[in-house]
Structure 1
Amino acid sequence: MNKESFASRLVFFCNKVLALVTILAYILPFLAPKLFPFLSVLTLILPFFIVLNAIFFVFWALQLKRKMILSGLVLFFGITFVSKLYKFSETDLPKESTDFSLMSYNVRLFNLYEWLPAKDIPEQITEVIQDYNPDILCLQEYSPNDKVRLRNFPYKFIEVDGGKNKYGQAIYSKFEIVNKGEIDFPNSSNNVLFVDVVNQKDTIRVYSMHLQSIKISTDIHEKIDENKSKFIFKRISEAFSEQQLQAEMIKEHYNSCKYPKIICGDMNNSAFSYVYRTIKGEMKDAFEMAGTGFGKSYNFDFYPARIDYIFTENEFEIKEFKNNTKVKLSDHFPIYTRVSLEKK
């Protein structure tokens, strides 16, 4: 019997460490970030752990070694996380007269501070919205701009704050808005808007959320040393703690609503987080139901980040979901869904 090589033992040791960390990351969505703020950062890189476990599984399988069982079990127990990471096929059901559509888009103030060199960003964003022609439109990081002309929405609810350059959120609707309001987060400029709209005699509650940002640049090219890494981890963990409170406030609010509900917007967190689990609850994730690929919604160079979501209650049938990564007019990409409300 040949003695196992040192290299093989070292690789399997790394495999075991990875398996342990991955299992820990599986558990973290069930634990409040305030309890383990630094550990909660692991949920952001859980997709990398899943991919590495898959690589280890294939590595050992090709050698016909039983060591593949370890990563195989890790992947098996994390199958629900895998489905949140990548969808192999999409749904696009035929349109019916009862369908309606919703679009959510963080427009980054319509390029107010000229992050992008193009001078016609507001006009281009207007064209994108007109092309999708949604029945309900939710805009985060909204700023009043005369160049943005959304004429096909007779109803709207806009809440902005600030001095000379105001910013906030906006909800536009082709359906009558019969009620509206706001969830203010303590010690934060972020918030949630909600409206009740009437569509074919059905009243529907729509929430547009914008949670605390982790404030990491979309193009990190400078060298990241130890101090920089500690700073980033501290910033992320603090943001996650803030998001925990915000998510719990949203959940408490929508639990008191008797109407069928849709929640959309910029969560600034991954689908593997406590915040996602808290807000989504028993709702459907439109991407998981009808999307394809990674569902990327944030323009980050090194990671297919999905931090913008559309959730619906079970009364809705999700017939289509799109995330348009070709529209690079903001640091986010627009997301779109078509749904119908099932009659009881």
Structure 2
Amino acid sequence: MKKLGLFIRAFFSHTLFLINLGVAAWLLLCRYASTTDPADVRYLGIISLSTVFALIVNALFFVVWLFSRKKWRSLLSLAVLGICFRMIPAVFGLNYFEQNNMLPQLGGLKVLTWNVHGLGLYDRPVDKRRPEKMFALIEEQQPDVLCMLEFYTNNDGSNPKARKYFEHAGYKEYRFMYDNDLGAKIFIGNAIFSKYPLSNFKETLIDEYIKLMQCDVQLPHGQQVRLFVVHLQSFLLADKEKAMLEEAQKSAKKLEKQKAYTHTFLEKLNRAYQKRAPQAILTRAEIDKSPYPVVLCADLNDVPCSYTYTTIRGGLADAFAQKGKGLGRTYNMISPTLRIDYIFYSDSALKLIGYQSLKTPQFSDHNPVIANFVLK
């Protein structure tokens, strides 16, 4: 019996270490996916969705071996976590003891970006008061620059509710970039509201129905920041399919029924990754042309440490990584690990003093992201 017990213990220990090897390879594959064009390796981009779990499991293995008799085995996960160390703050906000100042600063720059999902236009029945409620929430934050993605205007370019808010909140500038429509009467796109003067407005077509919006923000004392706004390719999942995924998470039986759709989901996800890659490259090329410090407000439709994220971020700082906490979820469906809305910035010229992402599932499928800066 004693020999049998030793055999079982050894078998379990070796099996666990083999699993640990597989988990370490999983995390290294996530790192590889973050720097490799999804067009080069089929389905590779999709592995980025699991980065948060790969990090967690490797951290657990490190702890397990550290408190076991074979402590040396903890070095495997420790080494892999060390190799992937730069991924950690992008995925997990560890800034629980950082000061977080969200009050607008005199001469500073407070930026709010929000995918407003058509201000409720897509939902049925339409809540006619939703735009007013959303603008009231924004007004509480007092942003100097407001970027609204999936914003809409009428065919004459107007949005009466937005105009009323624009005048009430004291904005001096408004720009709208159309990239899609709902019939002949509604234009969908991105909008910028600014309390500072804007100049050099430009639209760059980076794909069909995908445009990069940019302008220069004139700050006090003659300083300028180039603002970019972009909304990249979605995952190509219809609302019905998103709802199906959420239901599948809650019930194993329903998950069995949805197996027939797995291939379709994977193909859609893979196609979306392949479409976003050249969009990210073109966006990065435009950012690199900027003679001024940069602020980029983006709905990347992609998670941290994906190829899209890594390419677009480049040498910019991620506001969440600097001041955020937890997983920083910004998308209110499917999974709590989906942070897909970002504010990137040039930390050589701008000092981040506050970051926040409000929970607003009652208004949009996305949460607003806010960054508060002072000039260096």
Which residue is equivalent to 2:213?
193
* Contact 1:110–1:121 (8 Å) recurs in 2: yes
**1:21 to 2:42 alignment:** no
Match of 1:32 among 24, 29, 37: 37
Q: How do 1:134-283 and structure 2 match up within 5 A?
A: 134-144=143-153, 145-148=159-162, 149-151=165-167, 152-160=170-178, 161-162=180-181, 163-186=184-207, 188-200=208-220, 201-216=222-237, 217=239, 218-219=242-243, 220=245, 221-222=247-248, 223-224=254-255, 225-283=258-316
Secondary structure at 2:304 match in 1: coil
Structure 1 letter corresponding to 2:140:
D
Structure 2 letter corresponding to 1:256:
K
- Worse overlay, 216-225 or 13-22: 216-225
Structure 2 letter corresponding to 1:268:
N
Secondary structure at 2:161 match in 1: coil
Whole-angstrom distance in 1 between the partners of 2:334 and 2:223? 42
Post-superposition offset of 1:273: 1.1
Structure 1 letter corresponding to 2:166:
L
Whole-angstrom distance in 2 between the partners of 1:288 and 1:115? 36
Structure 2 letter corresponding to 1:196:
D
* Contact 2:90–2:318 (8 Å) recurs in 1: no
Secondary structure at 1:166 match in 2: strand
Which blocks of at least 5 consecutive residues in structure 2 are unaligned?
154-158, 249-253
Offset from partner CA, 1:278-333 (integer Å, 9 cap, x none): 11111111111122222211113433211111111121111111111246310100
Structure 2 letter corresponding to 1:208:
V
Which residue is equivalent to 2:251?
none
**1:328 to 2:362 alignment:** yes
Post-superposition offset of 1:119: 4.6
* Contact 2:104–2:142 (8 Å) recurs in 1: no
Q: How do 1:111-122 and structure 2 match up within 5 A?
A: 111-114=120-123, 118-122=127-131
Which blocks of at least 5 consecutive residues in structure 1 are unaligned?
none
Structure 2 letter corresponding to 1:26:
R
* Contact 2:228–2:295 (8 Å) recurs in 1: yes
**1:310 to 2:343 alignment:** yes
Which residue is equivalent to 2:100?
92
Offset from partner CA, 1:159-205 (integer Å, 9 cap, x none): 2242233211111111111220112123x222221111211122221
Post-superposition offset of 1:247: 1.0
* Contact 2:332–2:361 (8 Å) recurs in 1: no
Structure 1 letter corresponding to 2:132:
E
Offset from partner CA, 1:118-165 (integer Å, 9 cap, x none): 552211111111111111111111112433333221211112242233
Which residue is equivalent to 1:124?
133
- TM-score (norm. length: structure 2): 0.84
Whole-angstrom distance in 2 between the partners of 1:212 and 1:43? 16
- TM-score (norm. length: structure 1): 0.92
Whole-angstrom distance in 2 between the partners of 1:143 and 1:326? 19
Structure 2 vs 1, CA of residues 50 and 104 (structure 1 numbering), >3 Å: closer, same or farther? Answer: same
Whole-angstrom distance in 1 between the partners of 2:362 and 2:230? 21
Whole-angstrom distance in 2 between the partners of 1:278 and 1:301? 25
Q: Which has the higher helix share?
A: 2
* Contact 2:302–2:308 (8 Å) recurs in 1: yes
